[in-house]
Amino acid sequence: MTDPNQLIEDYEQRTAALLTQAEEAKSQIANLTGAATSADGAVTVSVSAGGALLSLSFGTKADDMPKDRLAALVMSTSKRAQAQAVAQIATIMAPLIGDNSEAMEFVQSQIPQIDVPDEPTPQAPQQFVVNEEQQDAVATQPPPAPRPARRPAEDDDTDFDQRSLFKKEGGW
């Protein structure tokens, strides 16, 4: 026959170990971050599990990027970082509650689904075209030649700027 005191002691030990694991999981989730970098290296983002922006940095490719494309790239990269962070929650909780348990199903149902958009593709600059005739002409024209550099204006010898218009010079 098993000793009831031993059963209670085992139960208390398992409960204490479970509480320790739960505290560790809570701490890991609180400190959870996700990071992502765009495919071209222009944007790197770090976010918390809740999606709060923790850091944002730009690579050299961002320098020449149109602002609307850069903004879209920041948004899509931050969504990917958030999805990566959120996916870690199930990994942290699995040892505590089991991979295929009802508790895991509940945890996964509480994790927001992140819609991760594709990275925006670069667009060629568009030229302004008034009508179809101009469009055909623009399509067949070579790009305009660069303008020649301007020569500095030659200095004339009149020096009108040196004499006053209101003063009499030379004794008149």
What residues does each domain of the chain span?
8-110
CATH number attached to the domain at 8-110? 3.30.1310.10
Task: Read off the pTM.
Answer: 0.57
pLDDT band (50, 70, 90) for residue 147: low
Q: What is the pLDDT of residue 159?
A: 54
Residue 46 in this model has a pLDDT that exceeds 90: yes
Q: What is the pLDDT of residue 77?
A: 93
Task: State the DSSP H helix or E strand holding residue 100, giving kind and residue range, or none if neither.
Answer: none
Inter-CA distances, 85 with 48, 61, 118, 162, Å? 7, 26, 18, 74
* For range 111-140, the mean pLDDT: 61
The mean pLDDT of the chain is 78
Using pLDDT thresholds of 50, 70 and 90, give the confidence band for residue 141: low
Q: Which amino acid is at 111?
A: I
Q: Which pLDDT score is estimated for 36?
A: 94
Which is nearest to 33 in space by CA: 54, 16, 62? 54
pLDDT greater than 90 at residue 45: yes
Instruction: Check whether 28 has a pLDDT greater than 80.
Output: yes
